[in-house]
Every structure is written in C-alpha cells, then in structure tokens.
Amino acid sequence: MQVVRTVQELRALSEAARAAGRRVALVPTMGALHDGHLALVALARRRADLVIVSIFVNPTQFGPSEDLASYPRTLDADLARCRAADVDVVFAPAAAELYPDGAQTFVEVAELAKPLCGASRPHFFRGVATVVTKLLAAARPHLAIFGEKDFQQLQVVRRLARDLLLGVEIVGAPIVREPDGLAMSSRNVYLDAAMRAEALALVGALDAAEAAALAGERSAAALLEQVRKEIGRAPHARLDYAELRHPDTLAECAAIDGPALLALAVRFPSPRAASGEVRLIDNRVLLRRHDAEGPPR
C-alpha cells in the first residue's frame, strides 16, 4: 500500500493505472475509519482494480461552533485498517495541498443542499461539494463510493458529477449498522453508555414508520407523528429534523405513493464533544420498489 501526500503523486498513480486499462475507484473519507468505511472499500475492491482511499478532515464543511478541532483523527490506525482491507493507495494530504494560499473557488449545488442538513448547516454542503470536486479532479477515478447514511450528501455529489460533466460514476453503498441497529458513524465515539442506549431511538423511529407505511399509512403527517413519538422515548434526545422527501429530488412529500426518504437528525448531550452535544443522522427509504405495493396479502 502506498501513502501519498500530494495531488501530483496521486494523479500520477491514477493516470498510470488508467493508461494500463485498470479501473480506478475512490473512497473519500475523513478518517476515524470503522466497519462502515471498510464496507465501502470492499465494494470498491469488487468494482475496480486500483482502490484509493482519501483521508482528509475537510475544514470548509465545519461551521465556527462545530467539532473541527476535536473531530477524531486516528491516521495510524486508519492506515493499518486500510492495509488489512487491501487498499492500494491512501491519499492523506495536508489542508494546504487542497486549499492553497489564496484559494477562493467553491462549488455549490443550489437546491439539493437547502433542506434537511442544509437548513441547519448552511455552510456544510458547499464545503462537501468543493472538497469532493477537488478529490475527483485529483484522483481521476472511474467510480467513487459514498455511503447511503449520508443520503443527502450522496445526492448532492451525484448532481455535481452530472452537472460538471466529470465522467465519474457515483455509487451509493447501503448503511452499515451495529448489531443493535445503530448506524455506524465516526461520531458515535462521543456517546457515553447512557446516550448510546438512547440513540437507538433513531432506529426505533425508522422501524415504526416503515411498519406503518407497509401497513398502508400514506400520510406524511401521520408517519412523522409516529417518528416524533418514538424519538420522544429518549429523554435527552433533541430532534433536529424528521422529514419525508422524494429520494431523488429531495422535494417534500405530503403523502407517499412510492419510495420516500425518511431522514432524521437528532442531537444528544455529550461531554466528550467540544460543542457539548453530538448530532446523529439516519434514514430509510420507505416503500422501496420491492415493497411499494404494500404488505403481503
């Protein structure tokens, strides 16, 4: 496994692979790797000949009061996990490599970035879109793998790749969960035992809404009331949002008549986090095509 620090080194490796007829995959990460990230790597390994993992805590997607300074940085452990997962190249640049002095160019995806996480974190998707564009330009992959846990981010990246004619396939990978159902996240380390137990309210809310939809409930208001009821079972949970959206456009749904994205963001107190709280997101697409006709008869 090679570890490279500069765009020039990364691009040379990718272009050599492409010239040799090899398929190149990129898995962008911010490090603190867990089994969810490794599932993305495994998918990339199946789909490509050269697997690149980027490890970069992107400063432009953090707001002034967010956890940039305290975001977990575990590069040595991350490199060990990448070696064990048969990664070919790790790109671990310094911030100045991707944001040189005087940098003033940013990428924005206008409409998809507005709802959900974009409503409470208006800076976030501009930072994501900008760094992903830079990483795709540097690595020149045939495909890039993103997890569906960050569903809005996945749709933003798909849109920018289409709009900017980048010629890269954006692949979504299913959410990887802990044995008890909690979605894997680098921020789970901020949860103490009590808040870790309360965080299962997210899974309970998704399960309850899915069961109601399969039983025939189509009203968004009724489904979201069920979600709020389940989140309310966690005494310290503070709901940031619970919304039903069209999976492709992220347009709001008043009722569902086909696949619909149920997206959640919930905050929990955490003395381990610099801000004093941790914000977890999760989602599920209700009535996916295989069950869109309703419950078995």
pLDDT in tens, 185-210: 999 999 999 999 999 999 999 999 99
Q: Which of 37, 236, 246, 290 is catalytic?
A: 37
- 37 is annotated as an active-site residue: yes
% of the chain surpassing 70 pLDDT: 97
- Yes or no: is domain 186-291 CATH 3.40.640.10? no
pLDDT at 14: 98
Helix, strand or coil for residue 235?
coil
CA 268, 272, 275, 276: dihedral to nearest 10 degrees? 50
d(CA 136, CA 24): 11
pLDDT tens digits for range 83-142? 999 999 999 999 999 999 999 999 999 999 999 999 999 899 999 999 999 999 999 999
Instruction: Find the mean pLDDT for residues 7-12.
Output: 98
Contact 266/288 with Cβ under 8 angstroms?
no
Sequence ranges of the chain with CATH classification 3.30.1300.10: 186-291
Contact 7/94 with Cβ under 8 angstroms?
no
d(CA 245, CA 213): 14
pTM, two decimal places: 0.94
Task: Please give the structure tokens belonging to residue 270.
Answer: 């955490």
Instruction: State yes or no: pLDDT of 295 exceeds 60.
Output: no
Sequence ranges of the chain with CATH classification 3.40.50.620: 2-173
Q: Where is 15: in which H helix or E strand?
A: helix 7-19
Instruction: Find the mean pLDDT for residues 255-281.
Output: 94
Q: Where is 96: in which H helix or E strand?
A: helix 95-98
When the pLDDT of each residue in the chain is averaged and rounded to a whole number, the result is 95
pLDDT at 294: 43
Instruction: Find the mean pLDDT for residues 65-88.
Output: 94
d(CA 287, CA 295): 10
Q: How far is CA 108 from CA 54, 123, 211, in A?
A: 21, 10, 37
pLDDT band at 288 (very low <50, low <70, confident <90, very high): confident
Q: How many CB atoms lie within 10 A of CB 261?
A: 23
Regarding the domain with residue range 2-173, which homologous superfamily does it belong to in the CATH classification? HUPs (3.40.50.620)
